[in-house]
Amino acid sequence: GQRQPGGGSCELLLLRPLTPTEDGRARWTCLARPGKKLRPGSSVRVASDLEAEIEADTENGEKIVRLQSPSGLHDALARHGNMPLPPYILSKRGTKGSTVEDRERYQTVYADPEGSAAAPTAGLHFTNKLLDELSTQGVEIRKVTLHVGTGTFQPVSTEYLRDHRMHTEEYVVPEATASFLNQAKTKGRRIIAVGTTTVRTLETATDENGVLHTGSGESALMIRPGYRWKLVDGLITNFHLPRSTLLCLVSAMTGRERLLAVYREAIRQSYRFYSYGDAMLVWRNRNE
């Protein structure tokens, strides 16, 4: 959009909706660029039917905005907004925005409620055909929800892992899922999570006795080496960047030295990293 006043170009990355305002506008938290020039009281004109007023700055560098559209906000966002793709994907293409194809491809086939700031990339490997094939082989699939936030991708910047603060992310564990997984655990069946987001949801909602509880809440769980696992036995995940909380989680599951050996082999074999990269199946190391 264009800054008002001034007219300079800017970008808003919408993260999550907040409570509506008394005047009927929708409030969202977002990331803004250039953030210093978008101060509270200023506004952004995206199109003739979509405007955003900067309401406040937050402690973690986000902004709170009020969105307004006379033609309906959901439709206006769909028309004028771009799906947020990782910068390395856009830079390789030489484009600034996503395509119509991205709206289908950069989603899991089982995605349902809106709310994530990014796709859970391990789930991108699954097609409906593959899920059906797994079912015929006796793999039973249950769903949970975690709305991925930008904190997932924030690199570890503290000297000690225990000092790193995770941003909160909303999750939902359906009653049917909790009941099924609790029964599976008592029968000694293996619970394999697809993606680190699923791991964090399940481990957050599981108590110290290993019982998974239904309901919704917020997860700020950072899993690092030494973590005491409560429910998850295995993980399907992509290859992650150094100094990331995602890499810490996988290391906590399989062990640091074993994981480093896996990554050396992946580099030697030219495996792909990042969102559209390759995946691996990691089993929990009982000694960790």
**pTM beyond cutoff 0.95:** no
C-alpha dist (Å) from residue 244 to 28, 151, 156, 157, 273: 26, 10, 6, 9, 13
Is the pLDDT at 179 greater than 80, yes or no? yes
Higher pLDDT, 117 or 212: 212
pLDDT for res 74 = 84
In the chain, % of residues over pLDDT 70: 96
Q: ω into residue 84 within 30 of 0, thus cis?
A: no
In the chain, % of residues over pLDDT 90: 59
Residue 288: pLDDT band (50, 70, 90) is very low
CB-facing half-sphere around the CA of 158: CA atoms within 13 A? 8
Is the pLDDT at 7 greater than 60, yes or no? yes
Q: What is the mean pLDDT of the chain?
A: 90
Q: What does the pLDDT look like over 21-59, one tens digit per residue?
A: 655 578 999 999 998 899 999 999 999 999 999 999 998
Q: Using CA atoms, how far apart are residues 94 and 113, in angstroms rounded to an integer?
A: 31
Residue 196: pLDDT band (50, 70, 90) is very high
Q: Which H/E stretch holds residue 90?
A: helix 87-93
